[in-house]
Structure 1
Amino acid sequence: MTGVMLRFAFALSILSCAALGVALDARAVDGLYGNSKMPGIGRPVRVGGDRDYPPYEFLDKDGKPAGFNVDLTRAVAEVMGMKVEFRLGAWAGEREALMDGGLDILEGMTYSDERAQILDFAPHTIVNHAIFARRGAPPVSSLDDLAGKKVIVHRAGFMHDTLAAKGMEKDLIFSETPADGLRLLASGVGDYAVVAMLPGISIIRENKLDNIQPVARSVATVRYGYATRKGNDALLARFSEGLAILRETGRYQAIHDKWLGVLENGKVKWQTLAVYVGAVVAPLLALLGGSMLWAHMLRRQVAQRTRSLTKALDELSSNQRQLVQADKMAALGTLVSGVAHEINNPNGLILLNIPILRKVQADVARLLDAWHEREGEFTLGGIRYSRMRQELPRMLEEMQEGAMRIKRIVNDLKDFARREEGAAKALIDVGDCSRKAVRLVETTIRKHTDRFSADYEADLPLVWGNSQRIEQVVVNLVINACQALPDKSRAIEVTTRHDVEAGKVILCVRDEGSGISVEHMAHLTDPFFTTKRETGGTGLGLSVSASIVKEYGGCLTFESAPGQGTTACLELPVPKEESPA
């Protein structure tokens, strides 16, 4: 009878634990989503934006949401199976609504480090800000030139924050929308207005504000896109995934061309082309009745103009391809950050649990050792205990080391993908940048060579630069070296040194690869020049790298000969004074 009662009590305790688990699960779900349904699934996502910010977002003549951001949001909602509800109004009110919980997401927020403290971002577009003035106004070329001037800005907008941070708050004149600001400027209020370039041009054309014009066309280049309050990771991830799908399917480019393409490419270029064509055709018609000498001279002029046009069109095509590639890299950075976050979560659990498992193993080992002495040999997981006793601690240690390695790689990858506004300069250690870059491409190195070495000179002086961008240069140089090796027996060597006489820190990547032909040496840093087109090369790696190094006062040099390998060196000047200027 006592045994039956014990079994009944044991069963009752199990049922109680199960009921408690269900209750805890329900509380966890309630804590995650609250009492309302998940935005975009059970109820529409409340999307906020500016009511008068063409061509990005505005209310059309029928009072309905329209513009690039609106079409993009609708497309994201369609591919992700979400419902959305647009609420466009005055921008300052929209920002407050997001922070108060009246909105789930803003579709047109400019990124800044300060805003990133309270918001999470999924940028999708690059926006240039410009300074506008009435015709005849004194010229300015930068935001700093606006000190002491009366400047009209969009209330609670990016330029409001930027100029206030520069100490110009007292001289600012606020408008509720960019259109209101430009209309105020046109009416004689204020000295200048700072508005994003494309909206400014669109507003001037739409409202026929012929007395104002841009006087500085690119005073700030920023990332622009979706923003949510901190902690709304699930919703932002759905929008980021939707953007990635739209880019892959080509729908993003179609929406971009519909709203922004006309303003970016503009009628001006067609007018310029018409001037060239007219300069060719008009002389041709005028000289048709002339002598053969004039006809010959005309043909020479036509040929010269044609070459000029061909060159101009080639440069335009090259610039367009660079912009498309930059847009793809921006999307890749967002995707890499998301993937790194997803890897860190399960890896964090592994790092948390393995130390506990090691303690458990140590405690259990004493009991199993006693059992082994008393009962003799037995098996664990199909392996004899006497062997498993030695192997299990080593396996747990290897698992912990592997998880730590994953964490380091993911952190390096996040640092490499992080994009900084204005690429701010700081004093950096070139050796440290090189170590991080090598860790990023360690798998690629092992795949291509069995003879990799690195020799970093100790106590290198610091140089001015941006660590993520210098890492990008080193990654490009090491990957190029790997791709140049015909087999794994050839070596790659990375070295750093301080050239005291030249006042430079020098990083070199030397490979024993196939080398570079003489005719190709002069074109290594030309945009889109590549000898690996058939294997997917874009020709942008060394071009971008050379631009980055040049920005910090340095240079890239190459020494090579066919069949004798290549040495690529990154040189950065050692500052005489600790100033980034």
Structure 2
Amino acid sequence: MKKMTKIAAVVASLALGVALLAGCSSAGDTATDGNAADNATNPDAPTLTVGFDAAYPPYGFLGDDGNYVGFDLDLAAEVAERNGWNLQLEPIDWDAKDALLNQGTINCIWNGFTMEGREDGYSFSDPYMLNEQVVVVRADSDIKSLEDLAGKNVMTQVDSAALDVLEDEEGQKALADTFAGGAAQTIGDYNNAFMQLESGAVDAVACDLSIADYQMAAKPDMFVKLDPLSTEHYAVGFAKDGDAAMIDAVNKTLKEMYDDGTIAELCEKWGEYGITIDNWVLVD
């Protein structure tokens, strides 16, 4: 939701998360504690080490009580518990995710992670959630359509799916060429991007649908979204030569969680943050 070192990026992300989310994080049970090591109780069991952006609500972020929370963290915790795995959550510098994955520091990225366009670099789980890339503007803006973005300052997160779409010749590069400066501006996390949008420092933010819905739920009179830039899917990303058995277990367990109603319960829990069962796609 990162050009700094890992430690500095995490500290900065957590500070931003606290500043933006204070007073608006009210989800029920937390997925994890702030030490990023939930249930490491069996030294002989496999460990699911999840890399996530700690400033990427509602999928993973720092709650009011200092715990990491989020829809994807809840999914990971339930999958780990059902498989008897230890769970370790690692807030990461998003720019460093590939290096951390390939080094084995983390063994998956579970963080509202778009799979389209990344298939050659990762082994993915089955897609589990439908997503879109959208553009958000202030409600009092004169921008009413994507065409109105010509000459405007549009911001997105560095190394994000939205940026990929805006830089893709077969995507929305022609649109991005019309932005002020001929391209989208980039920033380390979406929390700060929306602060800049609210202040008027930029005219629009391109982001995931769920991020847009989260920000709009927090400030319903402040923001509106335009038509989507693209449609895509979220999946869990593993290293290209990742553990095939673990990937299969993730797929199987998520389907079981859908069948027994757990997914519906988690979607309801995070519904006020823009999560809906209507976008869940991983079923038998």
**TM-score of the two chains, using structure 1 as the length reference:** 0.36
Equivalent position of 1:331 in the other structure: 283
Q: In structure 2, the residue corresponding to 1:331 is in which secondary structure?
A: coil
Structure 1's 56 and 264: CA in aligned 2 closer, same or farther, altered over 3 A?
closer
Residue 51 (structure 1) aligned to one of 44, 51, 54 = 54
**Superimposed CA distance per residue, residues 365-401 of structure 1 (whole angstroms, 9 cap, x where no aligned partner):** xxxxxxxxxxxxxxxxxxxxxxxxxxxxxxxxxxxxx
Equivalent position of 2:163 in the other structure: 160
Structure with greater proportional helix content: 1
When the two chains are superposed, the root-mean-square deviation of aligned CA atoms in Å is: 2.7
Structure 1's 209 and 91: CA in aligned 2 closer, same or farther, altered over 3 A?
farther
Equivalent position of 1:121 in the other structure: 124
Task: State the aligned residue count.
Answer: 230
Structure 1's 262 and 88: CA in aligned 2 closer, same or farther, altered over 3 A?
closer
Equivalent position of 1:26 in the other structure: none
Map of 1:404-443 to 2, 5 A cutoff? none
CA–CA separation in structure 1 for the residues paired with 2:197 and 2:247? 37
Residue 207 (structure 2) aligned to one of 184, 195, 202 = 195
CA–CA separation in structure 2 for the residues paired with 1:254 and 1:190? 37
Q: In structure 1, the residue corresponding to 2:109 is in which secondary structure?
A: strand
**Is residue 2:246 matched to residue 1:235?**
yes
Equivalent position of 1:221 in the other structure: 231
CA–CA separation in structure 1 for the residues paired with 2:211 and 2:77? 21
> Contact (CA 8 Å) 2:257, 2:263: kept in 1 or not?
yes
Q: In structure 2, the residue corresponding to 1:110 is in which secondary structure?
A: coil
**Is residue 2:120 matched to residue 1:110?**
no
> Contact (CA 8 Å) 1:50, 1:88: kept in 2 or not?
yes
Q: Displacement, 1:224? A: 0.8
CA–CA separation in structure 2 for the residues paired with 1:145 and 1:230? 40
Q: Displacement, 1:194? A: 1.0
CA–CA separation in structure 2 for the residues paired with 1:148 and 1:131? 15
Q: In structure 2, the residue corresponding to 1:117 is in which secondary structure?
A: coil
Please identify, of 165-174 and 236-245, the stretch whose mean Cα deviation from structure 2 is larger.
165-174
Equivalent position of 1:257 in the other structure: 268
Q: Which has the higher contact order (CA 8 A, sep 6+)?
A: 2
> Contact (CA 8 Å) 1:77, 1:242: kept in 2 or not?
no
CA–CA separation in structure 1 for the residues paired with 2:109 and 2:273? 25
> Contact (CA 8 Å) 2:110, 2:235: kept in 1 or not?
yes
> Contact (CA 8 Å) 1:90, 1:177: kept in 2 or not?
no
Q: Displacement, 1:215? A: 3.4
Q: In structure 1, the residue corresponding to 2:88 is in which secondary structure?
A: strand
Map of 1:66-105 to 2, 5 A cutoff? 66-105=69-108
Q: In structure 1, the residue corresponding to 2:214 is in which secondary structure?
A: helix
CA–CA separation in structure 1 for the residues paired with 2:183 and 2:229? 19
**Superimposed CA distance per residue, residues 415-459 of structure 1 (whole angstroms, 9 cap, x where no aligned partner):** xxxxxxxxxxxxxxxxxxxxxxxxxxxxxxxxxxxxxxxxxxxxx
Structure 1's 247 and 135: CA in aligned 2 closer, same or farther, altered over 3 A?
closer
- Residue 239 of structure 1 aligns with an amino acid whose one-letter code is V
CA–CA separation in structure 1 for the residues paired with 2:84 and 2:275? 32
Q: Displacement, 1:262? A: 6.4
Which structure's CA Rg is the greater one? Answer: 1
**Superimposed CA distance per residue, residues 39-71 of structure 1 (whole angstroms, 9 cap, x where no aligned partner):** x96452210111112222111123322011011
- Residue 81 of structure 2 aligns with an amino acid whose one-letter code is E
> Contact (CA 8 Å) 2:214, 2:273: kept in 1 or not?
no
> Contact (CA 8 Å) 1:52, 1:177: kept in 2 or not?
yes
Report percent identity of matched pairs: 22
CA–CA separation in structure 1 for the residues paired with 2:216 and 2:133? 15
Map of 1:467-546 to 2, 5 A cutoff? none
Residue 137 (structure 1) aligned to one of 132, 135, 141 = 141
Gaps of 5+ in 1: 1-39, 266-319, 333-581
**Superimposed CA distance per residue, residues 225-280 of structure 1 (whole angstroms, 9 cap, x where no aligned partner):** 21111121222112112112211221111111111366467xxxxxxxxxxxxxxx
Residue 186 (structure 1) aligned to one of 182, 195, 198 = 198
Q: Displacement, 1:172? A: 1.9
Please identify, of 58-67 and 101-110, the stretch whose mean Cα deviation from structure 2 is larger.
58-67
Q: In structure 2, the residue corresponding to 1:46 is in which secondary structure?
A: strand
**TM-score of the two chains, using structure 2 as the length reference:** 0.71
CA–CA separation in structure 1 for the residues paired with 2:151 and 2:246? 43
> Contact (CA 8 Å) 2:213, 2:273: kept in 1 or not?
no
